[in-house]
Amino acid sequence: MSTHVEPEVLLEKVGRAGVITMNRPKVLNALNLTMIRQIYPQLKKWETDNDTDFVIIKAAGGKAFCAGGDIRAVTEAGKVGDPLAQDFFREEYILNNAIGTCRKPYIALIDGITMGGGVGLSVHGRFRVATEKTLFAMPETAIGLFPDVGGGYFLPRLRGRLGLFLALTGFRLKGRDVQRAGVATHFVESKKIPDLEKELVDLKSPSAEDVTRVLDTYQNKSSLDSDKPFVLDKHMSDIDRLFSASSVEGIMQNLKADGSEFAKKQAETLSKMSPTSLKITYKQLQAGASMSLQDVLVMEYRLSQACMRGCDFYEGVRAVLVDKDQNPKWNPSTVEEVSDESLEHCFSSLGERDLTL
């Protein structure tokens, strides 16, 4: 009996569209280096190919678009000095940049769980279509990492302090709220996605405006949850006020002093996160607000390698993904103990090992 091995990513031409399908549904389409190495050259080829007008990225399985990067493999590599710990981040960020600079319309159908690396495969593209099944988060501070894949670029560009709030707390947005937050450009009901895809593929030499028109039409036909307010609506002024402090310590003080139920909950959440990750993330978003996507990715590559040199990333992955005891022992254990000097070191140049785009 021959064992048929499913490819981890499908790359096909459908009409004049290049279609990428993540195909690891059993592991929620977690992104690994093999997939990155297949997607990147194909995307670059389609970008210059006269027979390809636009790109669609979607996923198999119906549950997840992509729940993140294959982080366990990366930490295993980091422990033994395997180059995967460098190659994964480097090539992932190069792909994120290729999506962000793609000259043809890039449409991500984020119909399901979209976190971390999955956000990187979608958010920098021209069009991001959420459905009621979309679950968005950047949960990296809980595993001793930081919201990478260009998080330093897109998060500070969300309204007010929303991006910083999402980055530090890992707060999850669902369905229509993903669009209301500005992470998705459109909301379409999940059952309409196959028809939407067919209509897109049938377009003849479409411009970005043509794609927009089709997506707008489907969005207008999707009334599910349209009467419900944005989940953070009533908290937005609090988020802007409480998260506008000039340091992580300041934010924590604000939350404790505020005393509201919402503030208490956020203070409790932040107290569980890696103190080093919180401080890296704050500085990353502060700097990224005025940087290009390219400069952000260069900065984030430096940060990724600092996390590989440190201990919190390994401990976070152990506690959350491996042993699942949800009880990481962070070192340092408080934000006050994370020195400015150690933080600066995370952001410093890697010289010839820096990411070049």
Amino acid identity of 95?
L
Which one is catalytic: 70, 148, 312, 315? 148
Nearest-CA neighbor of 29 among 68, 76, 73? 68
Query: In 279-316, which positions are buried (b, 16+ CB within 10 angstroms) versus exposed (e)?
Result: bbbbbbbeebeebebbebbbbbbbbbbbbbebebbbbb
Query: CB–CB of 162/236 below 8 Å?
Result: yes
Which one is catalytic: 18, 53, 68, 69? 69
Residues 6+ apart with CB under 8 A from 89: 74, 148, 300, 301, 304, 305
Is 352 in the active site?
Answer: no
Count CB atoms within 10 A of the CB of residue 190: 18
Which one is catalytic: 68, 78, 117, 151? 117
Is 140 in the active site?
Answer: yes
Task: Name the token pair of 216.
Answer: 């707008």
Is 148 in the active site?
Answer: yes
Angstrom distance (rounded) from CA 15 to CA 34: 26
Is 69 in the active site?
Answer: yes
* Phi and psi based region of residue 351 (left: phi greater than 0; alpha: psi -120 to 50; beta: remaining): left
Angstrom distance (rounded) from CA 86 to CA 91: 9
Sheet (strand 113-115) strand order: 64-66, 113-115, 135-137, 173-174
Which one is catalytic: 53, 111, 140, 300? 140
Whose structure tokens read 């999940």? Answer: 190
Residues 6+ apart with CB under 8 A from 205: 16, 53
Using CA atoms, how far residue 263 sits from 168, 239, 258, 269, 315, in Å, is: 14, 9, 6, 10, 27
Using CA atoms, how far residue 117 sits from 5, 9, 21, 154, 350, in Å, is: 24, 15, 15, 14, 23
Task: Tell me which residues are annotated as active site.
Answer: 69, 117, 140, 148
